[in-house]
Amino acid sequence: MTTLKLACIDADAPPLFSLRDSNGQRTGYEPAAAELVASRMGRTIEWVVMGWDEMLPAVRDHRVDAVWCGQGIIPERQAVVDFTRPYAVFDETVLVRKGDPARTPADLSGYRVAAIEGSANMALARTFDGAIIVPFSGDTVYEDMLEAVADASVDAMVDDDVVLVPLSDDPRYDVAFTVATRNPWGIGIAKDNPGLREELNAALTAVIADGALHEAWNAWMPALDFPLGNSVEVDTGSLA
């Protein structure tokens, strides 16, 4: 079988993905979805771990075939790579320290709010009037932001609901609020590789149509409604 080299970060962000095991394998919704698609294409997956900021340039420069790692389809990323149709759609959540009273965007005025640099989460954070935005990047960006909230280096962080809402049970954190942004996530492919994009889209369409992706979603995220179908489409190609 031909190998599909997919860029990702090595982070523990359940239910999306886990750290790699000793065999280089990962578990969670994203790896499960990727395995379904790769199997439909007759390919095997090689996960290529790198820093968050390295992934899109690695795709553009053909050091990997694609990035399958929490990539919301936003204009800044579309300027670098093209995207498939979505394999997930998520809202965004603000996390604060346990006991913090913030429960609305207006409450964040004067707060230091962490978000991944250049992300959809960062774009949302910038809409909070009076908030002081603190960009994060690097190999362990998710863990770094969580630690920064816990140790009061920042006052809050923005990330996707799927990873932050479960932390409401963690004694260190409170979920302040969730914004229904409905951000689509896609697989990023080099702009000069339309054939791979078409192949991935065909496989994605097939596993959505036959219910296999829905089953994977329910296995890992049963509390969230499966958002995909023929009506969930966005402009995933090059910017005009």
Q: What is the pTM assigned to this prediction?
A: 0.86
Q: Measured between alpha carbons, how far is 240 from 236 in angstroms, rounded to an integer?
A: 11
Comparing 140 with 104, the larger pLDDT belongs to 104
- Give residue for tokens 């750290």: 19
∠ CA 47-11-154, nearest 5°, is: 145
Helix/strand/coil percent split, the chain, to 5: 35, 25, 40
86 close to 212: Cβ distance less than 8 angstroms: no
Which residues contact residue 163 at a Cβ distance below 8 angstroms, ignoring those fewer than 6 apart?
13, 14, 15, 16, 142
Per-residue model confidence as pLDDT tens digits over 17-56: 999 888 888 999 999 999 999 999 999 999 999 999 999 9
- What pLDDT score was predicted for residue 240? 35
Please list, residue by residue across 65-88, b when 16 or more beta carbons sit within 10 angstroms of its beta carbon and e when fewer do.
bbbbbbbbbbeebbebbbbbbbbb
What the chain holds in terms of domains, given with CATH numbers, is 2-87+186-220 (3.40.190.10), 91-182 (3.40.190.10)
Per-residue model confidence as pLDDT tens digits over 79-127: 999 999 999 999 999 999 999 999 999 999 999 999 999 899 999 999 9
93 close to 165: Cβ distance less than 8 angstroms: yes
- What pLDDT score was predicted for residue 140? 87
94 close to 112: Cβ distance less than 8 angstroms: no
Q: What percent of the chain has pLDDT over 70?
A: 95
- What pLDDT score was predicted for residue 237? 54
Type of residue at 52: W
Per-residue model confidence as pLDDT tens digits over 157-170: 999 999 999 998 99
